[in-house]
A and B are shown apart, each in its own frame.
Chain A
Amino acid sequence: DQQVKQNSPSLSVQEGRISILNCDYTNSMFDYFLWYKKYPAEGPTFLISISSIKDKNEDGRFTVFLNKSAKHLSLHIVPSQPGDSAVYFCAASTAYSGAGSYQLTFGKGTKLSVIP
């Protein structure tokens, strides 16, 4: 039973264009969401997060949108750069609800390729 789903295993985007990575979740108790980026042979690095009290969070070229009613979040990268080519993982937790134990549940990842 996959609680966090990234339905697109891969995505190719031209340099300078917008990259949109999508993530769906099924557990309505999730109240904190994160995106991680991972290069080959390295550990994942934290990118951006959003709590359930917000619907948007922005950090430079990266924006995360949360649609609680649809149980959907997305990561927008504008403009996309070749160095953004990596695997992106969506993750969720129930930290604020008190029902969780500070665990993250990860999606399977989306491989983004930014073409020069």
Chain B
Amino acid sequence: DAGITQSPRHKVTETGTPVTLRCHQTENHRYMYWYRQDPGHGLRLIHYSYGVKDTDKGEVSDGYSVSRSKTEDFLLTLESATSSQTSVYFCAISESGNEQFFGPGTRLTVL
């Protein structure tokens, strides 16, 4: 299994609160991704990174920001959480940009 961890694994927060999710890899892979999974929608890309300090938006980026200051860490921030951001968030890594390997997920509930 690829060395990829996510923290926290579960979080409950209130509307309007800032939230940061962390993805950490030990594989030194170039590409890192944040997805959300919701019933009826499959996996949707939020943001991705193709190198340190190099990031770009995905399909559902509104309300989210990311940062990658080190190869191994990719942070996802919800500046002001809303109930529509209640979801399961997955981080993924890839060396080539093709096969992606996923972390265990973070279940976020926004009340």
Residue positions of A touching B, CB distance < 8 A? 32, 34, 36, 41-46, 49, 89, 91, 93, 95, 101-109
Q: Which 5 A/B pairs are nearest by Cβ-Cβ distance?
A: A102-B97, A43-B102, A108-B42, A106-B43, A106-B42
In the complex, chain B residues whose CB is within 8 Å of the CB of A102: 31, 48, 50, 94, 96-98
Q: Are A44 and B102 in contact (CB under 8 A)?
A: yes
A sample of 12 cross-chain residue pairs with beta-carbon separation below 8 angstroms, ordered by A number, consists of A34-B99, A44-B43, A93-B98, A101-B50, A102-B48, A102-B96, A102-B98, A104-B100, A106-B43, A107-B42, A108-B42, A109-B42
In the complex, chain A residues whose CB is within 8 Å of the CB of B44: 106
Q: Write the nearest CB–CB distance from B61 to chain A, whole angstroms.
A: 12
Q: Are A49 and B99 in contact (CB under 8 A)?
A: yes
In the complex, chain A residues whose CB is within 8 Å of the CB of B42: 89, 106-109
Given contacts A44-B90, A108-B42, contact A101 B102 (CB under 8 A): no
Residue positions of B touching A, CB distance < 8 A? 31, 33, 40-45, 48, 50, 56, 58, 90, 92, 94, 96-105
Closest to B6 in A: A43
Determine the distance from Cα of A103 to Cα of B96 in the docked complex, in whole angstroms: 11
Q: Write the nearest CB–CB distance from B32 to chain A, whole angstroms.
A: 11
Determine the distance from Cα of A105 to Cα of B43 in the docked complex, in whole angstroms: 8
In the complex, chain B residues whose CB is within 8 Å of the CB of A93: 97-98
Q: Are B101 and A95 in contact (CB under 8 A)?
A: no
Determine the distance from Cα of A109 to Cα of B44 in the docked complex, in whole angstroms: 12
In the complex, chain B residues whose CB is within 8 Å of the CB of A107: 42
Given contacts A102-B31, A102-B50, A102-B94, contact A46 B101 (CB under 8 A): yes
Determine the distance from Cα of A49 to Cα of B104 in the docked complex, in whole angstroms: 21
Q: Write the nearest CB–CB distance from B22 to chain A, whole angstroms.
A: 15
Closest to A93 in B: B98
Q: Are A34 and B98 in contact (CB under 8 A)?
A: yes
In the complex, chain A residues whose CB is within 8 Å of the CB of B105: 41-43
In the complex, chain B residues whose CB is within 8 Å of the CB of A101: 48, 50, 56, 97
In the complex, chain B residues whose CB is within 8 Å of the CB of A45: 102
Determine the distance from Cα of A110 to Cα of B99 in the docked complex, in whole angstroms: 20
